[in-house]
Structure 1
């Protein structure tokens, strides 16, 4: 049975009412039409205890990576935070398909998404170094980003300022993912009267992307 990890980064208490979630639900419904037995796990980042990179994690990772320390020689704070980071990464790795649903805030993604992705960069587990450079170890998996945007970032003067989708796609590709074209709904703040049309178009694209992803076998 395939597993799909559905990751949302929105602080709204009733996340189902967010526009991103509405598009995401269309994606999931269409995906299940093709793969009705898929197991779907939802990670709502704002309800999770995600460790942020601080002094404990900086020193703990360095000690184990190249300073010759063993796990038993770490401080309690270093050890507990590294264990939490690895546990989160283990949950993340254990899937075939990945759907990220985020807004764009101040040119980028919510900070909690960066903290989450920081936990996925673990040498020997999600990537390794080779003579040709770093190599992602999470190959064979497929991922897609669904992003809502208040402004217009696909064309015009703001193209170079969009760093949320650009960051996520780059990070996932670094780790070895096959990343599909982003589905976005943009201009939601600039053109409030056109929101129904904008949302309808995004939902249609999400449905198409879901069918494409679901029809693609994953071999890990």
Structure 2
């Protein structure tokens, strides 16, 4: 059975364009593969703990020697890694917040970037261990950052592509919902264009 991991992170709830488009894409991917399961991780409504001293020490401590708190925080990370590795396709949604991803999404990345689990170091340097996945990035922004004078302010897209690539996920599609703060007409056009693109990507999957 195919598995689709849907990661949403917008604090805007039902008003979130990134969540709407990402959810639509996940459903279309599921429809393309009957029996596919969608696992949803809503990071806004169920935020993950930011990594702390217990996490930083716990991941390098043998399981049988971890304190109760270390077991708890490392257990969260282990579950997220397992969830990621089980997925065939990953749909990640975020708004562009202060030119980067949401802090809740950054916490997820901090938990799933695990030496020995999702990447390793060898004689030839780092090697990503999360391979064979198709990743879709759904990024919403009030302005236009794909080109033009503001393009250099988009730190979210290159960061996500670089980090995911480091972990072995190099097959990445980007869906932008941009210019949504430039008036109702621009907002509607941006959302409609992104939703149309989800259909094309699902057909190609």
What TM-score comes out, normalization by structure 2 length? 0.91
Q: Aligned residue for 2:192?
A: 200
Residue 11 (structure 2) pairs with residue 3 (structure 1): no
How many residue pairs get matched? 205
Q: Which ranges of structure 2 fall in alignment gaps of 5 or more residues? A: none
Matches of 2:188 and 2:52, distance apart in 1: 43
Q: Aligned residue for 2:165?
A: 173
Matches of 1:49 and 1:95, distance apart in 2: 20
Residues 1:34 and 1:106: Cα distance change in structure 2 (over 3 Å): same
| Counterpart secondary structure, 2:44 | helix
- Kindly indicate whether the alpha-carbon contact (under 8 Å) linking 2:43 and 2:105 is maintained by their aligned counterparts in 1: yes
Matches of 2:203 and 2:170, distance apart in 1: 16
Deviation readout 1:119-163 (Å, 9 max, x if unpaired): 111111111111111101111111110111101101112111111
What TM-score comes out, normalization by structure 1 length? 0.85
Matches of 1:4 and 1:16, distance apart in 2: 21
- Kindly indicate whether the alpha-carbon contact (under 8 Å) linking 1:97 and 1:141 is maintained by their aligned counterparts in 2: yes
Matches of 1:90 and 1:167, distance apart in 2: 23
Residue 195 (structure 2) pairs with residue 209 (structure 1): no
Residue 145 (structure 2) pairs with residue 147 (structure 1): no
Residues 1:178 and 1:37: Cα distance change in structure 2 (over 3 Å): farther
Please show how residues 1-220 of structure 1 align to structure 2 within 5 Å: 1-12=1-12, 15-48=13-46, 50-61=48-59, 63-64=60-61, 70-213=62-205
- Kindly indicate whether the alpha-carbon contact (under 8 Å) linking 2:30 and 2:37 is maintained by their aligned counterparts in 1: no
1:85 CA displacement: 1.5
- Kindly indicate whether the alpha-carbon contact (under 8 Å) linking 1:139 and 1:177 is maintained by their aligned counterparts in 2: yes
Q: Which ranges of structure 1 fall in alignment gaps of 5 or more residues? A: 65-69, 214-220
